[in-house]
Amino acid sequence: MSEGPAAKQMRTNRAGPRATPAYLLSLRLDGRLAVVVGGGPVAARRVAGLRAAGADVLVVAPEISASLAGLASLGLISTRRGSYAACDLDGAWLVLACADRPDVNAMVAADAERSRLWCVRADDAAEPAALVPAAPPRAGDESDHSEWQGDLRLKGADPGQRARPPVGGRVLVLGGARSGKSATAERFLAAHGEVEYVATGAPPDASDSEWAARVAEHRRRRPPHWRTTQTLDLEQVLKSGDPAPVLIDCLSLWLARVMDECGAWSGGEGCQGEEDGDGTAGGDSREEVTARVDRLLRSWRATSRHVVAVSNEVGCGVVPATASGRRYRDALGRLNALVAADSDEVWFCTAGLPRRLR
């Protein structure tokens, strides 16, 4: 079969570095299969972006990183451990060649081209037909330096500007005490590099050894390159425009401390405006809590950050014996329901086993 003029021009263009600019295009990946060849840090970062875009992800590699294995154990991605074969691309819509061997990436790109598949090659952005923006490497991280340079070369971007990662979704992880909800939320973000961990609980001190031990356990479990922010100002966190994903742990502690600040623990159990036992109005404090919750919800709906929030499910246990306990249970139940209604994914953890509700 003779080669047409378009194909001949494409082959001529690939003979050397591309002089023409790339045609920018966004792909809708919901429900489409994306095959990632490679199991290292570059593949892990690309998998995070693919998941945020709603793709069904298959990772093919002889060995995969712990973060990718964690995602696979939760059923969030599929994996095939072994050497790459052309049949791995069957049914794919997008292919990402992220292996640590250039010959394997070249083979993947060639197979994808023959099958007319979109293909991104991490180690040579000028060779395949597609590319994605990449974030510059963190200090001391040389693993994806060539990938960053390749994408910069093609896009003409300024190396001093950090490219924004794909916009992720809003995820709520619920569960009872010691249900594994925090560990599950951490695994959801394990494939990302930089993550902002927002701690809403009170800083530990010598007066509460049990709380200090819990905080220490959480710190030991988090990757050392994650940064921690201790704050109740979740609205500012969600509005910040920071490109790093954020993990909020947790909404139940946030609500308890907000109720502390507003003096909303005392008062009648019914509607706002009931009087406290000493005759003073308790409605104002509860109205302030409601206003704080409303501001949080507006920020949650509007955020462009990939955010995972943890919260306790307290409606399935023993009815609290005190009026303040019942008030907190009801307020947290309402908060969880409102956040869940505006979340892209909602998970529930029982005995360390997460299940997706939405």
Mean of the per-residue pLDDT values of the chain: 79
DSSP 222: S
Return d(Cα 152, Cα 158) in angstroms, integer.
7
Return d(Cα 50, Cα 48) in angstroms, integer.
6
The residue-averaged pLDDT of 290-307 equals 94
59-118 pLDDT, tens per residue? 999 999 888 888 888 788 999 999 999 999 999 999 999 999 999 999 999 999 999 999
Tokens 């966190």 locate to 237
The residue-averaged pLDDT of 214-236 equals 84
The pLDDT score that the predictor gives to residue 60 is 96
Return d(Cα 64, Cα 48) in angstroms, integer.
14
Nearest to 252 by CA among 181, 353, 169, 321: 181
The residue-averaged pLDDT of 134-139 equals 42
The pLDDT score that the predictor gives to residue 12 is 43
6-42 pLDDT, tens per residue? 444 444 444 444 556 777 788 888 889 999 999 998 8
Percent of the chain with pLDDT over 90: 44
- The answer, yes or no, to whether residue 283 has pLDDT greater than 70, is no
Dihedral angle, C-alpha 290, 294, 295, 296, nearest 10 °: 100
Lowest mean pLDDT among 24-28, 131-135, 301-305, 348-352: 131-135
Greater confidence (1 vs 40) lies with 40
Residue 174 pLDDT level (bands cut at 50, 70, 90): very high
The pLDDT score that the predictor gives to residue 19 is 54
Q: Map out the domains of the chain with their CATH numbers.
A: 28-155 (3.40.50.720), 170-356 (3.40.50.300)
Tokens 């425009």 locate to 241
The pLDDT score that the predictor gives to residue 7 is 43
- The answer, yes or no, to whether residue 313 has pLDDT greater than 60, is yes
Of residues 145, 192, 218, 306, which has the active-site annotation? 218
The pLDDT score that the predictor gives to residue 127 is 62
The pLDDT score that the predictor gives to residue 225 is 82
Tokens 């819990």 locate to 214
User: Long-range contact list for 349-353, CB < 8 A, 24+ apart?
Assistant: 349/173, 349/174, 349/175, 349/176, 349/179, 349/180, 349/181, 349/184, 350/175, 350/176, 350/179, 351/179, 351/180, 352/179, 352/180, 352/183, 353/180
Greater confidence (145 vs 47) lies with 47
The pLDDT score that the predictor gives to residue 125 is 62
Q: CB–CB of 346/357 below 8 Å?
A: yes
The pLDDT score that the predictor gives to residue 84 is 95
218 classed as catalytic: yes
CA angle 170, 171, 176 (to 5 degrees): 150
Helix axes 323-341, 283-302, angle to 10 degrees: 20
The total of other beta-carbon atoms located within 10 Å of residue 232's CB is: 20
